[in-house]
């Protein structure tokens, strides 16, 4: 049988419908030494899609730093992992699910959560936290409100039900995201380092057990049709390509897989996500240098008459592929029965590197696993710096006159959707389940979420950051700032930044301007990661985020994890007592370019993003870490979107105590000092009596420090400029999103 050629007729131009170019089709023919049959062609189309193969991004991603003593698992696995010490590992990854969410926001976002959770699970880790960086069009448009509301409900609906807390993320709005919302999801998991499941996990003779939901026609073509093309006018017709989530099945699947891992029954565990069974089998066998016999008749189906290609590329959710030694199959099946999930032996690993796929007794495909998983073409796509960029960047916003009182500008920025409280979002997420959330949305605004390692005093701080305006005006700086800001957010709570995962959201890579922005963003990210000692352990590229002439801002998003040795020493960001000296760490330059103030008050998305001195940034992180260790700070808060004015107001609102501020005279107009988004800054309040130590440490560490005010009262006062009562500020800050969404607001 194995020597026979698979059945099937020659395929003419079907490959184009499946998303392969003529040249790629010829390459497939070359790999096989013959023309592929339709089943084989569908497998190649899925695995060689941009989404699965990274064919346009690979040469750029190779430049990122991926190594460090803390890295246990780098890129190339389902998720990366870093060492937390004491035998514990932190597994984490971020992914996008933007295209499905644009078409069906609830299910698109829900299944995005499901997919990233299974990636972390497949490393043998318990998923312990989720974070969701999101981008939408402005909320004055009804479609944008529908997408925003649907995505948030979908994330909550799925995440709450599977019992993994959603503890952070960010939401930003820009017109370019109207037709192309960006939905990124990060998952973090914990595992015993010696129990991590690495791929390759199998050996010849190991079997593959398909666990979980049955396989249906949902999600066919998800990676090739949906994720690897731009969305056209008739995008709603792709709705059948969006998968439907069943969080209950995922919930049970998580517990089941963790039990299989605890009982040491697994050689490997592979998630069935994009490209379904084809991806799971080909990746795991290719990594092991093996092949497999695959029996499609063993796959439980939702409906009769499914074609082999449908079974092979279905993206039905809540399925995992367990790689198991034959002697353990009976025990695996018993545990699956206990949890009420199906377990079917669908494949057996074999030497030789070929995948033999059988259906109804016939050989329907014979393909080298490596050709599918590792030998997709790699493109060096043409790049061109956009001609319009310089004109926009030269806009000198610092000289632009301020037409409204500075107090009004402050309230406008504080209540702008890019700055205002996202409580409307976070309250729809269960941020407490699992009982380890030390800092999360329920404890108020925080720079980073903090999750305790159960039964220890260690904790992991997590932040996701990205700035689309920066990406639009300087993608290199956007990449670098995303790393710097996420590291700063983690450092602000007292953690040492460890490593990053990245999600790169861009337009069509076949356009040279998009590709240029992509390569710049990756270059910036790489430089920042090297300078801050935080390697990249994996991530995801999302291209084709455009429709018509409108592409999303180049949006590199970073998910950072940091380690806190003793969570009882973490630093919160609210002013909770009066009489504390408030300091600004870092230097403020006249930088309004690409900022919140420029867009909200001046109506401009132009100018240059703030410069980034990576060494100064690193010094700030070291200082913040040391301050936490010595318990010098009553509060610390990152100073970024909306500048110093917003950072001070947020600390006051978070702790419920006002502040009186005298701006240091650095020769800038007041509004520049208030709203400049200069990097590498933080607002801190010293513990009483520890001011001298803080000042000395800052001087020693080479971090500029200025005493800017004192806490107390119930007003935010900028001396000589204006003052706002805390309660008025809260109304503006908390009320912005509920007002736009027309929702009832709870008190308290």
Partner 1 sequence: MKPRIGVASFPGSNDDRDALRAIRFMGAEPVSIWHADRDLNGADGVILPGGFSYGDYLRTGAIARFAPAMAAVREFAEEGRPVLGICNGFQILCEAGLLPGALVRNQGLAFVCRRIHIRAEDSSGNFTKFSAGEVLQIPVKHGEGRFVAPPNVLGRLDDGGRIAFRYCAPDGRLDHRFNPNGSSGDIAGIWNERGNVLGLMPHPEHAVDPDLGPTGGQQVLQWLLTAARHLARASAITAV
Lay out the site mask for partner 1 across 337-366 (x = CB under 8 A, - = otherwise). Answer: --xx--------------------------
Q: Does 748 bind partner 1 (CB under 8 A)?
A: yes
Torsion, Cα 133 138 144 149, to 10 degrees, reads: 50
Q: Report the residue number, 430 or 638, with the smaller CB distance to partner 1.
A: 430
- Region for residue 698 given its phi and psi (left: phi exceeds 0; alpha: psi -120 to 50; beta: otherwise): alpha
Kindly name the residue from 15, 51, 359, 618 that is annotated as catalytic. Answer: 51
Q: How many residues bind partner 1 (CB under 8 A)?
A: 40
Distance of closest approach, residue 462 Cβ to partner 1, in angstroms: 16
569 binds partner 1 (CB under 8 A): no
Task: Tell me whether strands 437-439 and 449-452 are parallel, antiparallel or unpaired.
Answer: antiparallel
Binding of partner 1 by 571 (CB under 8 A): no
Q: How far is the CB of 219 from partner 1 (least distance, A)?
A: 20
Q: Give the dihedral sign, CA 646/647/649/650.
A: positive
Residue placing its CB nearer to partner 1 in the complex, 218 or 599 = 218
| Alpha-carbon dihedral angle through residues 5, 9, 13, 14, given to the nearest 10 degrees | -90
Is residue 391 near partner 1 by the rule CB under 8 A? no
The nearer residue to partner 1, 131 or 541, going by C-beta atoms, is 131
Nearer to partner 1 among residue 567 and residue 625 (C-beta):
567
- H-state helical runs in 656-725: 670-675, 691-701
For the bound state, the minimum distance from the C-beta of residue 547 to partner 1, rounded and expressed in Å, comes to 29
Q: Which position among 15, 60, 97, 621 bears the catalytic label?
A: 97
Residues 159-188 that bind partner 1 (CB under 8 A): 160-163
Q: Is 481 tagged catalytic?
A: no
User: How far apart are the C-alpha atoms of 656 and 648, rounded to whole Å?
Assistant: 12
Check: CB of residue 598 under 8 Å from CB of residue 607.
Answer: yes
Residue 68 interacts with partner 1 (CB under 8 A): yes or no = no
| Alpha-carbon distances, residue 579 vs 296, 573, 686, 709 (angstroms) | 71, 16, 10, 10
Min CB(450)–partner 1 separation in Å = 10
99 catalytic residue (yes or no): no
Residue 226 Cα distances to 114, 229, 244, 278, angstroms: 18, 6, 15, 17
Closest-CA residue to 98 (of 57, 135, 138):
135
Question: Is residue 214 within the footprint of partner 1 (CB under 8 A)?
Answer: no
Q: How far is the CB of 113 from partner 1 (least distance, A)?
A: 14
Asked whether the bond before 200 is cis by omega within 30 degrees of 0, the reply is yes
Going residue by residue from 221 to 260, which x/- string records binding to partner 1, judged by CB under 8 A? -------------------------xxxx-xx--------
Torsion of CA 405, 406, 412, 415, to 10 degrees: -140
Q: Which helix (H) or strand (E) holds 449?
A: strand 449-452
Q: Tokens for 281?
A: 């089998």
Best CA proximity match to 652, nearest among 664, 661, 640: 661
Among 25, 190, 426, 544, binds partner 1 (CB under 8 A): 426
Residues numbered 727 to 746 that lie near partner 1 (CB under 8 A) are: 743-744, 746
The smaller minimum CB distance to partner 1, of residues 188 and 450, is found at: 450
Question: Could you tell me which stretch among 394-402, 425-433, 467-475, 498-506 binds partner 1 (CB under 8 A)?
Answer: 425-433
Instruction: Mention every residue, 6+ apart, whose C-beta is less than 8 A from residue 288.
Output: 199, 200, 201, 202, 203, 349
Instruction: Compose the 439-478 pattern: x for residues touching partner 1 by CB under 8 A, - for all others.
Output: --xxx--------x-x------------------------
Residues that bind partner 1 (CB under 8 A): 153, 156-157, 160-163, 246-249, 251-252, 339-340, 426-438, 441-443, 452, 454, 567-568, 743-744, 746-748
Q: Which residues are catalytic?
A: 51, 97
């Amino acid at each position: 049988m194995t020597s026979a050629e698979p059945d099937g007729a020659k395929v003419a131009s079907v490959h184009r419908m499946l998303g392969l170019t003529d040249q790629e089709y010829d390459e497939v023919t070359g790999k096989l030494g013959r023309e592929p049959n339709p089943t084989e062609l569908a497998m190649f189309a899925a695995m060689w899609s941009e989404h699965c193969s990274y064919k346009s991004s690979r040469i750029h991603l190779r430049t990122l730093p991926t190594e460090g003593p803390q890295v246990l698992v780098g890129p190339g696995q389902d998720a990366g992992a870093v060492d937390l010490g004491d035998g514990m590992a932190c597994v984490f990854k971020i992914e996008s699910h933007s295209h499905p969410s644009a078409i069906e926001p609830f299910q698109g976002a829900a299944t995005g959560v499901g997919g990233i959770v299974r990636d972390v699970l497949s490393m043998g880790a318990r998923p312990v936290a989720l974070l969701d960086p999101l981008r939408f069009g402005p909320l004055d448009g009804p479609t944008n409100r529908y997408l925003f509301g649907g995505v948030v409900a979908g994330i909550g609906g799925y995440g709450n039900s599977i019992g993994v807390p959603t503890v952070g993320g960010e939401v930003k709005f820009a017109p370019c995201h109207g037709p192309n919302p960006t939905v990124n999801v990060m998952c973090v998991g914990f595992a015993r380092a010696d129990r991590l499941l690495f791929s390759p996990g199998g050996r010849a003779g190991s079997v593959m057990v398909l666990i979980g939901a049955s396989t249906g026609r949902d999600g066919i073509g998800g990676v090739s049709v949906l994720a690897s093309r731009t969305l056209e006018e008739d995008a709603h017709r792709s709705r059948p390509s969006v998968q439907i989530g069943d969080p209950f099945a995922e919930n049970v699947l998580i517990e089941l897989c963790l039990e299989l891992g605890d009982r040491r029954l697994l050689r490997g565990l592979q998630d069935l996500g994009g490209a379904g069974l084809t991806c799971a089998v080909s990746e795991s066998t290719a990594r092991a240098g093996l092949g497999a016999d695959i029996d499609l008749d063993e796959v439980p189906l939702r409906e009769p008459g499914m074609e082999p290609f449908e079974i092979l590329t279905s993206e039905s959710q809540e399925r995992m592929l367990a790689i198991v030694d034959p002697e353990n199959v009976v025990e695996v099946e018993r545990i699956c029965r206990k949890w009420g999930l199906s377990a079917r032996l669908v494949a057996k690993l074999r030497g030789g590197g070929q995948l033999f796929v059988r259906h109804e007794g016939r050989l329907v495909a014979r393909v080298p696993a490596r050709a599918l998983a590792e030998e997709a073409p790699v493109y060096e796509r043409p790049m061109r710096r956009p001609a319009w960029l310089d004109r926009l960047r030269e806009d000198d916003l610092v000289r632009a006159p301020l037409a409204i009182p500075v107090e009004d500008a402050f309230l406008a920025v504080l209540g702008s959707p890019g700055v205002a409280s996202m409580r409307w979002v976070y309250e729809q997420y269960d941020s407490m389940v699992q009982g380890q959330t030390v800092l999360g949305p329920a404890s108020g605004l925080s720079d980073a979420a903090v999750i305790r390692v159960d039964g220890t005093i260690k904790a992991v701080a997590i932040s996701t950051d990205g700035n689309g305006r920066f990406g639009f005006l300087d993608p290199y700086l956007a990449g670098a700032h995303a790393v710097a800001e996420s590291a700063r957010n983690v450092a602000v709570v007292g953690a040492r930044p460890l490593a990053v995962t990245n999600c790169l959201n861009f337009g069509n890579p076949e356009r040279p301007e998009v590709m240029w922005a992509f390569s710049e963003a990756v270059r910036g990210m790489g430089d920042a990661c090297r300078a801050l000692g935080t390697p990249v352990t994996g991530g995801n590229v999302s291209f084709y985020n455009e429709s018509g002439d409108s592409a999303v801002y180049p949006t590199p998003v970073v998910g950072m994890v940091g380690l806190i040795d003793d969570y009882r020493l973490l630093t919160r960001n609210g002013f909770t007592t009066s009489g504390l000296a408030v300091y600004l760490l870092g230097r403020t330059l006249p930088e309004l370019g690409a900022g919140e103030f420029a867009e909200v008050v001046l109506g401009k998305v132009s100018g240059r993003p703030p410069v980034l001195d990576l060494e100064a940034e690193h010094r700030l992180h070291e200082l913040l870490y040391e301050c936490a260790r010595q318990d010098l700070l009553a509060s610390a808060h990152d100073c970024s979107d909306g500048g110093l004015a917003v950072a001070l107001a947020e600390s006051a609102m978070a702790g419920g105590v006002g502040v009186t501020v005298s701006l240091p005279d650095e020769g800038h107009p007041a509004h520049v000092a208030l709203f400049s988004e200069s990097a590498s800054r933080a607002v801190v309040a010293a513990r009483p009596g520890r001011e001298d130590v803080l000042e000395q440490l800052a001087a020693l560490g080479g971090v500029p420090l200025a005493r800017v005010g004192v806490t107390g009262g119930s007003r935010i006062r900028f001396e000589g400029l204006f003052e706002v009562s805390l309660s008025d500020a809260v109304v503006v800050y908390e009320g912005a999103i509920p007002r736009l969404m027309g929702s009832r607001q709870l008190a308290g």
